[in-house]
Amino acid sequence: MFIRKRKNPSGSISIQIIDKSNGKYKVVETIACVKDKKELEFYLAKAESRLKQLNPNLFYTVEFNEKKHRFIGIKNKEISVVGPDIIFGYIMEYIGCDKVLKKLKEKELFKQLVLSRIIDPGSKLNLIDYLYIYKHQNLDKNEIYRFLDTLSLNLKDKIEQCIFEYTSMVTGGIRVSFYDVTTLYFEASSEDDLRKVGFSKDGKFTKPQIILGLLTSLEGYPLGFEIHEGNCYEGKTFIPMLEKFQKKFNIEKPIVVADSGLLSKANILELEKLNYRYILGARIKSSSSEIKNKIVSLNLNDEKNIETIYFSKNQKMIVSYSQQRAKKDRYTRTKNYEKLKIKIKSGNLTKAHLNNKGYNKYLVLRFSNNNINR
């Protein structure tokens, strides 16, 4: 068999695989009909590949069988995962994170700490298993702990500087920043100088914890983080983090975006005093009666689903309406109302049920009967 190029009356060229037997030529397969040189080169290469499949020679068969035999003979301990190092390792080098470390061993350990969090998230001790399973490397846990001390004391600021410079380059500058906090708890029974029992977002109110504040760019790139004592009010972490970030990187004051947990009068006054522009999530539930009445009077619906309420020259509240959220809230109200009715009919209600938990706050207990305040 061989490849034939045949010119057609239309000017196009047909690429065919031909078989010759008993003096006759037979078209085995037409690969393509092309009109330009680039297409011709592409489909000729494709025809060559197809020809090998249709008519493998002796040497090709032997070579394939040898490869197959070698592949079958590979043992698990001889297989290493290299994809993460090739892709994510290259990204780390491109950002410049490898330049902040001088020792080759520290560079490799830092890279594996980062990659393991992406590929196989877990504890620092989990890194030992990760390296053993995927890279056949043995690592002592004390090496990790010693390196973490180095990372905390000397390298955090340098790494943040690398990330900031890269983020500024790819985004054209930091004009908007997002800030949020979370809590990280520890399976421990005692507190220390940093780990304190406080309000837990994980519901672990008896466990010591730390508060982690993270600042990101508009695109979601992390810019910096700070750790605070576990019993610290999250609103108090907000302004110091902004001030530190601005001074550290010597940039113009960005527009700050944060959730309602950071919306305190003190924070707003401080932001305005420091001339920050801000977008903060508002809690309608805790707003004044005047604001609530204004919102109700807007009569928002699907067609008119967004309005602005002006407080002063510097402040305004943007209110939106979602039919999907309204439907969900209506379902929740109806469901809980029916539950309260069942409780009343059972006759088992006591003063202990008169609390602000959920929909219990609408219960009114009288001597003669119980009612729901609608």
Is 90 found in the same domain as 129? Answer: yes
Q: What are phi and psi of 130, to 5 degrees?
A: -60, -50
Q: Which domain holds residue 36?
A: 2-72
* Bridge partners for 330 per DSSP: none
CA atoms within 13 A on the CB side of 133: 8
52 within some domain: yes
- For Cα atoms 32, 33, 34, give the angle at the middle one, nearest 5 degrees: 110
310 within some domain: no
Give the per-residue pLDDT at 369. 58
Q: How many domains does the chain have?
A: 4
200 within some domain: yes
Look up the CATH number of the domain holding residue 232.
3.90.350.10
329 within some domain: yes
Q: Are 254 and 177 in contact (CB under 8 A)?
A: yes
- What letter does residue 254 receive in the DSSP assignment? P
Give the per-residue pLDDT at 367. 54
pLDDT in tens, 231-286: 888 878 888 888 888 888 888 888 888 887 776 778 888 888 888 888 888 878 77
Domain boundary among 156, 185, 205: 156
pLDDT values of the chain reduced to their tens digit, one per residue, 374 residues: 888 898 888 889 998 988 888 888 888 888 889 888 878 888 888 888 888 777 766 555 656 666 666 667 677 666 777 788 888 888 888 888 878 888 888 888 888 888 888 888 888 888 888 888 877 888 888 988 888 887 776 678 888 888 888 888 888 888 888 888 888 888 888 888 888 998 888 788 888 999 988 888 888 888 888 888 888 888 788 888 888 888 888 888 888 888 877 767 788 888 888 888 888 888 787 778 888 888 888 888 877 888 888 877 778 888 888 888 889 989 988 888 888 788 777 776 666 666 666 667 776 766 555 555 55
* Nearest-angstrom CA–CA distance, 41 and 50: 14
The two structure tokens encoding residue 331: 């379902």
